[in-house]
Amino acid sequence: MISAVVTGNVWSTRRVDGLPSGAFLELEIPATGARMIAFDVLGVGLGEHVLVAQGSVASHWFTGPPPPVDALIIGSIDAGSTGSAPGSEGGPPG
Amino acid sequence: MISAVVTGNVWSTRRVDGLPSGAFLELEIPATGARMIAFDVLGVGLGEHVLVAQGSVASHWFTGPPPPVDALIIGSIDAGSTGSAPGSEGGPPG
Amino acid sequence: MISAVVTGNVWSTRRVDGLPSGAFLELEIPATGARMIAFDVLGVGLGEHVLVAQGSVASHWFTGPPPPVDALIIGSIDAGSTGSAPGSEGGPPG
Amino acid sequence: MISAVVTGNVWSTRRVDGLPSGAFLELEIPATGARMIAFDVLGVGLGEHVLVAQGSVASHWFTGPPPPVDALIIGSIDAGSTGSAPGSEGGPPG
Amino acid sequence: MISAVVTGNVWSTRRVDGLPSGAFLELEIPATGARMIAFDVLGVGLGEHVLVAQGSVASHWFTGPPPPVDALIIGSIDAGSTGSAPGSEGGPPG
């Protein structure tokens, strides 16, 4: 997984069939400045630190036919996490 | 997913069996200048900003036996999107 | 997918079971100079521009048990293609 | 697989359903300084050298419905390993 | 696939269940100097040039439940190969 920060929304009106309910969000990976787009079902907000799973596992999380989604936000990172989240001084388990 | 701009067509007359109806399009990722080729079933045009899913999820979108396609254009990005599309001032949901 | 140029053969006499009929070819990606090895069932030649699918979709193209092949040449790119092939002035559909 | 060093914990209280028991750990790849997050079921500790499998194979290691986890710590690297672990003078098989 | 040179062994005594018989070997990709770890069932040796398949196809080569292995040495590259192996003057098919 990677940790990233939500930087924007991506709207797509003309799209293929079979995409699930949720939002396409633009993310930035702070360490490198690289950007990617992930699917969100949690309703996270701009500036939030999130945990992202990539590849076919993102698609197979959904029930029913696997949608053409290759990146899924699987969690919002708690502020107290040690690691790549802000305010790193250790924290309680989730 | 990544966002990219359509920069050209790729024609292949001699090809393996099992490829679906649609077009191979050359894309450029604006942030890095990297190029890739994705399959298009939407009929997008040159210069259009598109959303691309990569890996086996691209192949499994198709009905029938999964074709050897590892990148699929899943949507055309609306002009008003915040994020990596042009004219970024926020926009209505798709 | 990516487009690449065939630069050599790779022979492997001692190999695992289950590899299909065909050839391992060394490819170069012109834009970056990066090299990779893909499986060829079309009989393409040195210097030819080819279209390559990567990942499990390459393996699942084969009938029978999926072989441990992670890159497949799915087509030879026509000379008249716009995009990353030589002689770019547009061309007829394949 | 890659070898990496455990550098922190990542806590996520608000998360999608279907994540297994275990911990999200932040890892650093010593050769490049790159960071990633992997799932741990072994209970490894800070500073430990670990072996990580990436992609859908990480998810399919779990019994039951495959969780949206794209990186799994599959082992702790023994101190005597030749290769990328510390104290490289060869060692007994595991 | 990629070609790489065997540079060491990686021993892991504490590891997850379900790993097959064989060895974890450290490899170096000569062109870039990058290192990775692949699973070996052929018994290749230090300094040997090998062909490596990555991703889920490595796991699905094994019979039984697919193990959490994301890179498999699928062959030893013959010395006479054109391409990225040493002594490049062309060679007989494998």
Q: Is the pLDDT of residue B26 over 50?
A: yes
pLDDT tens column, B41-73: 999 999 999 999 999 999 999 999 999 999 999
The pLDDT of residue D80: 78
* B43: in domain: yes
- Chain C with chain E: Cβ pairs closer than 8 A: 112
pLDDT of res. E82: 67
Which residues of D make CB contacts under 8 Å with A?
A: 7-16, 18-19, 23-26, 34-39, 55-56, 58-59, 66-71
Q: Give the model confidence (pLDDT) of E23-34 as tens digits.
A: 999 999 998 999
D12 vs A58, A61, A78: nearest CB: A78
Which chain C residue is nearest to residue E94, measuring alpha carbons? Answer: C13
Tell me the C-alpha to C-alpha distance, in Å, between residue E45 and each of C24, C93, E27, E39, E71.
Answer: 22, 49, 11, 13, 17
Residue B46 counted as domain residue: yes
E89 in a structural domain: no
What is the average pLDDT across E38-55?
A: 98
Among the ranges given (B63-67, B89-93, E37-41), the one the predictor scored with the smallest mean pLDDT: B89-93
Amino acid C85: pLDDT:
40
- Inter-chain residue contact E1 with C34, CB threshold 8 Å: no
DSSP labels, C39-92: EESS---TT-EEEEEESHHHHHTSSSSPPS--EEEEEEPPTT-SSSSSS-S---
Residue whose C-alpha is closest to residue C72's, from C64, C81, C60: C60
CB B23 within 8 A of CB C75: no
How close does chain D come to E49, measured CA to CA in Å? 16
Interface contact flag, C82 B8, Cβ < 8 Å: yes
ipTM of the predicted structure? 0.89
Identify all chain B residues contacting A38, using CB atoms and an 8 Å cutoff: 1
Inter-residue contact E76 to C14 (CB < 8 Å): yes
How far is the CA of C26 from the CAs of A4, B71, C4, C8, C11, in angstroms? 35, 22, 10, 5, 10
In a domain, D92, yes or no: no
Please judge whether B37 and C76 are an interchain contact, meaning their C-beta atoms are less than 8 angstroms apart. Answer: no
Q: Of residues D86 and D16, which shows the higher confidence score?
A: D16
Range of the domain at E67: 2-76
- CATH code for the domain of D7: 2.40.50.220
Q: How far is C47 from chain B (nearest CA, A)?
A: 16
Question: Quick one: closest CA in D to E59, which residue?
Answer: D57
Is E82 a member of any domain?
Answer: no
Average pLDDT over residues C20-27: 96
Question: Average of pLDDT values for B22-37?
Answer: 95
Whether C90 is covered by a domain: the verdict is: no
Chains near A with 3+ CB pairs less than 8 A apart are: B, D
Per the domain annotation, does D94 fall within a domain?
no
- As a whole number, mean pLDDT of residues A9-27 equals 97
Q: What is the pLDDT of residue A31?
A: 86
Our count of domains for chain D comes to 1
Residue E84 Cα, gap to closest chain C Cα (Å):
8
Residues of chain C contacting residue B7, judged by C-beta atoms under 8 Å apart: 83
Which of A40, A61, A69, A76 should we substitute to test contact with D (largest number of D Cβ atoms within 10 Å)?
A: A61
Nearest to C77 among B12, B19, B39 (CB): B12
pLDDT for the residue B82: 67
D83 domain-assigned: no
Q: Chain D: nearest CA to A84, how far in angstroms?
A: 7
Shortest Cα distance, chain C CAs vs residue E1, angstroms = 5
SS3 A56: helix
Q: What is the mean pLDDT of residues C74-80?
A: 93
